[in-house]
């Protein structure tokens, strides 16, 4: 780090990008005179805008640094978590989108309230908020790494400064700023990735064939063991996590649902999902290839300084040591864009669900729309403070790579939200009481598995499965317990018109 030269062209590229983001926030801030605009942009976005925004929000959650780091440190096995995406996307287009676009919903958890009642709705709300705070803290840490390399400033100072900037443009700009900056950030991310990969391949004597040769020799393209071993991070373990993960994202993640309902029509929401799903998997594979290329580069040109770096720091180190001034700044701007498009979505979504699912029905009922708009901005600010504190904690955690940490956290703390939504969508028999009883059982089981994964329980009392399996097992427990409880109670189902795939309005399905 001490050998890195501060280059004014890099600073110019970064500040130009940050200035553009701030200007967009100021421009859109004038629109935010009510909560309908602040939360869903008056439901007027076209499909291509929503699709690119979804790409920016989900794909960039740790794409530019964490995925290359995972490939650099290990292999491509963590790509397996995303192989289920195209199949789940089909279900989303046919089922999830029409269900969420009924009755002008604003949050995913309004559906849980209509389907089951208040307890599952509150569970979903709190689970989402906790997961978003953890996720945003992780991404903020990744955002700070290249900035620290470039400036030499202490990592803690960078985390605080970056968090404040993201909070500024998200709080004043609302969902309009979030979605449109996501579009810009997605384009910048993709261009930055291409520039980075090209620079690595050009410097290698054998070009792309050398990357493939070294990667193959070192087993870097492996998807892991195909043995059926629940205690190891095999292909099947990671793939199962992917099924649970993508069902949860497409079928109940507020960041995605908020975009479903912000589209101007069901047709446009479906178009957005198709655009996103078509681009996401190739982009993930590309960034895994970037990580393998970096590995091949330092196998060819060993650097003692690299041995002292964490896996997440190697790519920023290469960028700022081997890429020309100005272009390196553009790539760092792409890394910043990759993180910011996730952070702004998380902060806005936390504010949205807190107001809609907690304040309006429980904590501050029957207040003016102006009151809720101000409250949303205050909540987004408070969430940003917690995000910054979490980023400082992540900076001091030992880890193989942040992508590995992300998968473990998602599995352990993700709860049974996927099961809640899937049972709601595809069954009529399970009612609110049955779902609440199943929630209690699943939460207890989740705590038990979490304590085992964190090595709090003695070895003899742990279930011998990899921590990646936690989410799948907890959701399976909920689904089985909910259905069995409903069968035992044998109550006649209430009117569920429009709330399940079997009772969905036919005209809405075809719109």
For range 170-180, the mean pLDDT: 83
Rounded to whole angstroms, the Cα distance separating 272 from 261 reads: 11
Q: How confident is the model at residue 111 (pLDDT cuts 50, 70, 90)?
A: very high
Rounded to whole angstroms, the Cα distance separating 193 from 104 reads: 38
3-class DSSP string for 403-458: HHHHHHHHHHHCCCHHHHHHHHHHCCCCCHHHHHHHHHHHHHHHHHHHHHHCCCCC
Which structure tokens are listed for 297?
A: 């580069």
Terminal alpha carbon distance of the chain: 56
Rounded to whole angstroms, the Cα distance separating 211 from 289 reads: 9
Place of tokens 């020799």: 217
Q: State pLDDT tens for residues 353-397.
A: 999 999 999 999 989 999 999 999 999 999 999 999 988 888 776
Place of tokens 């071993």: 229
Give Cα 343 to chain centroid, integer Å: 9
Rounded to whole angstroms, the Cα distance separating 272 from 265 reads: 11
Q: State pLDDT tens for residues 410-452.
A: 555 567 888 999 999 999 889 999 999 999 999 888 888 777 7
Please report the DSSP string for 127-152 in residue order: HHHHHHHHHHHHHHHHHHHHHHHHH-
Question: In the 8-state DSSP scheme, what is residue 84?
Answer: T
Go through the domains of the chain in sequence order and give each one's CATH number.
8-397 (1.20.1730.10)
Give the long-range contacts of residues 247-251, CB within 8 A, separation 24 or more: 247/88, 247/91, 247/418, 247/421, 247/422, 248/414, 248/417, 248/418, 248/421, 248/471, 249/58, 250/88, 250/89, 250/91, 250/92, 250/96, 251/88, 251/91, 251/92, 251/96, 251/418, 251/421, 251/422, 251/425
Q: Is the Cβ–Cβ distance between 25 and 244 less than 8 Å?
A: no
**DSSP three-state, residue 358:** helix
pTM of the model: 0.82
Rounded to whole angstroms, the Cα distance separating 272 from 278 reads: 10
Q: State pLDDT tens for residues 25-61.
A: 888 888 778 888 888 888 889 999 999 888 877 765 4
Q: Tell me the sheet residues that pair with 263.
A: 45
Question: In the 8-state DSSP scheme, what is residue 503?
Answer: T
Residue 272 confidence (pLDDT): 94
Mean model confidence pLDDT for the chain: 83
3-class DSSP string for 184-216: HHHHHHHHHHHHHHHHHHHHCCCHHHHHHHHHH
Q: Is the Cβ–Cβ distance between 402 and 312 less than 8 Å?
A: yes
């Amino acid at each position: 780090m001490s050998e890195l030269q501060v280059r004014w062209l890099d600073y110019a590229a970064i500040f130009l990008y940050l200035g553009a983001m701030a200007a967009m926030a100021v421009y859109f801030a004038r629109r935010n005179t009510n909560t309908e605009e602040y939360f869903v942009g008056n439901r007027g976005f076209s499909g291509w805008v929503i699709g690119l925004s979804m790409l920016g929000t989900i794909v960039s959650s740790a794409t530019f640094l964490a995925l290359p780091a995972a490939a650099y440190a290990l292999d491509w096995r963590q790509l397996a978590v995303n192989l289920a995406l195209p199949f789940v996307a089909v279900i989303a287009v046919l089922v999830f989108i029409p269900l969420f676009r009924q009755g002008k919903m604003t949050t995913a958890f309004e559906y849980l309230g209509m389907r089951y009642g208040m307890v599952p709705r509150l569970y979903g709300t709190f689970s989402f908020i906790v997961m978003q705070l953890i996720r945003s803290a992780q991404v903020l840490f990744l955002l700070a790494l290249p900035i620290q390399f470039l400036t030499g400033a202490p990592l803690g100072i960078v985390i605080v400064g970056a968090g404040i900037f993201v909070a500024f443009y998200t709080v004043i700009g609302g969902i309009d700023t979030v979605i449109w900056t996501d579009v810009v950030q997605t384009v910048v991310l993709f261009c930055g990735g291409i520039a980075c990969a090209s620079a690595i391949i050009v410097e290698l004597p054998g070009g792309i064939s050398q990357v493939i040769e070294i990667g193959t020799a070192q087993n870097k393209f492996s998807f892991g063991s195909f043995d059926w071993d629940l205690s190891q991070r095999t292909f099947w373990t990671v793939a199962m996590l992917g099924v649970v993960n993508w069902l949860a994202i497409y079928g109940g993640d507020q960041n995605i649902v908020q975009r479903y309902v912000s589209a101007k029509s069901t047709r446009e929401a479906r178009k957005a999902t198709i655009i996103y799903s078509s681009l996401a998997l190739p982009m993930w594979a590309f960034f895994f290839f970037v990580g393998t290329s970096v590995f091949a580069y330092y196998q060819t040109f060993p650097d003692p300084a690299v041995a002292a770096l964490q896996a997440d720091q190697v790519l920023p180190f290469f960028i700022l040591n081997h890429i020309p001034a100005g272009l390196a700044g553009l790539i760092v701007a792409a890394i910043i864009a990759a993180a910011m498009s996730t952070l702004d979505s998380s902060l806005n979504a936390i504010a949205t669900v807190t107001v809609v699912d907690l304040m309006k029905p429980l904590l501050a009922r029957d207040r003016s729309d102006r009151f809720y708009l101000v409250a949303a901005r205050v909540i987004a600010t408070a969430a940003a403070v917690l995000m910054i504190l979490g980023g400082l904690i992540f900076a001091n955690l030992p880890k193989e790579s942040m992508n590995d940490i992300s998968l473990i956290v998602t599995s352990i703390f993700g709860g049974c939200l996927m099961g809640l939504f899937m049972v709601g969508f595809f069954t009529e028999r399970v009612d609110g009481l049955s779902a609440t009883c199943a929630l209690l059982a699943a939460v207890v089981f989740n705590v038990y598995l979490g304590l085992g994964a964190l090595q709090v329980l003695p070895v003899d009392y742990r279930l011998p499965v990899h921590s990646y399996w936690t989410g799948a097992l907890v959701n399976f427990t909920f689904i089985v317990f909910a259905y069995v409880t409903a069968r035992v109670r044998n109550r006649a189902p209430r009117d569920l018109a429009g709330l399940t795939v079997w009772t969905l309005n036919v005209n809405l399905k075809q719109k």
